[in-house]
Structure 1
Amino acid sequence: MRTYKQPVSALIVIYTAALDVLLLERADFPGYWQSVTGSRDGDESLRETAIREVAEETGLDATSYLLADWQQQNVYEIYEQWRHRYPPGTTHNTEHVFGLQLPRPAIVQLSPREHLGYLWLPWNVAAEKVFSPSNREAILQLPERIQHG
């Protein structure tokens, strides 16, 4: 039996106090850069999804840092090339945005089947490099979110 992804996901912007942002290059689409993201499994909470995805994609333990639910949801149309991963007829995903603050850029352990490489970039440069509009928007909010807690 085929297991489909849930059209509910977490986007986790990993950043430092100096506003450097971690980006990962997708293995299935080289040249496409993004923050950590992934679909909810079973009935786990969105926070549990965020913690699991950070561990799977970077090897980092999100519970060791400041993980904040930004109380922001984005509903977007799933890119055509990834729709086969969802139940038939599913066209939209609801993404829940989190921020994970690290004290400084960290060396991460990539999952080779998911990502080819990673970069730490200043927030404004990172925002221009990501392919997802909702990811770009989340990164562009960083200076305001840090300044006002």
Structure 2
Amino acid sequence: MYKIPESVLVVIYTEDLQVLLMERADKHDYWQSVTGSKDFPEEALAMTAMREVAEETGIIVADTGGIVPASNLNDWHVSNVYEIYPVWRHRYAPGVTKNTEHVFGLLVPRMTPITLAPREHLQCKWLPYREAADACFSPSNAEAILQLPHRVKL
């Protein structure tokens, strides 16, 4: 089954603009925020974001029973279209070379526990937002993080 070329990027941050970054398991020293594709074409982007956050960090975003309330997840209404890195193109249908990424922000409490998915990420770290942007391998991820002070609802 091929990946759908429509995804989310979720910048997870704290009130003091510390940003969570995770190192990819399949690419040493590639640091990023939460990312992931829709599971099916009709999946709502907010649901994709909540699912990916749970899968990659163990943070449950929900109105009831979640670690973080769903109201802390904000769609920034920013979409990036980018060329899929050649190393990952085999995951998509033949001929698919571009992905549309939708950007979200997620405010979490300072000491929120993180449980990484070991097949996806090796380690994580919290960095001040400018340092986090500098550490990202993805230009769209770095740009999203740099927009954080202008996007947050604190």
Deviations 1:45-94 (A, max 9, x none): 10100000000000001222300000000000000000000000000000
Aligned residues: 146
Give the equivalent residue in structure 2 for 1:78. Answer: 84
Pairing partner for 2:128 from 122, 130, 133: 122
Give 1:1-149 correspondences, 5 Å limit: 3-42=1-40, 43-63=42-62, 64-65=68-69, 66-146=72-152
**Consecutive unaligned residues in structure 1, runs of 5 or more:** none
4+ residue stretches of structure 1 with deviation over 6 A?
none
Aligned-residue sequence identity (percent) comes to 61
**What is the CA–CA distance in structure 2 between the aligned matches of 1:26 and 1:106, rounded to whole Å?**
20
**What is the CA–CA distance in structure 1 between the aligned matches of 2:17 and 2:93, rounded to whole Å?**
37
SS of alignment partner, residue 18 of structure 1: coil
**What is the CA–CA distance in structure 2 between the aligned matches of 1:145 and 1:111, rounded to whole Å?**
28
Alpha-carbon contact 1:62-1:100 (below 8 Å) kept: no
SS of alignment partner, residue 152 of structure 2: helix
TM-score, normalization: structure 1?
Answer: 0.95
Q: Structure 1 residue 144: deviation in Å?
A: 1.3
TM-score, normalization: structure 2?
Answer: 0.92
**What is the CA–CA distance in structure 2 between the aligned matches of 1:51 and 1:16, rounded to whole Å?**
17
Q: Structure 1 residue 105: deviation in Å?
A: 3.9
Alpha-carbon contact 1:20-1:105 (below 8 Å) kept: no
Q: Structure 1 residue 145: deviation in Å?
A: 1.4
Give RMSD over aligned pairs: 1.1
SS of alignment partner, residue 124 of structure 1: helix
**What is the CA–CA distance in structure 1 between the aligned matches of 2:14 and 2:111, rounded to whole Å?**
6
Alpha-carbon contact 1:57-1:111 (below 8 Å) kept: yes
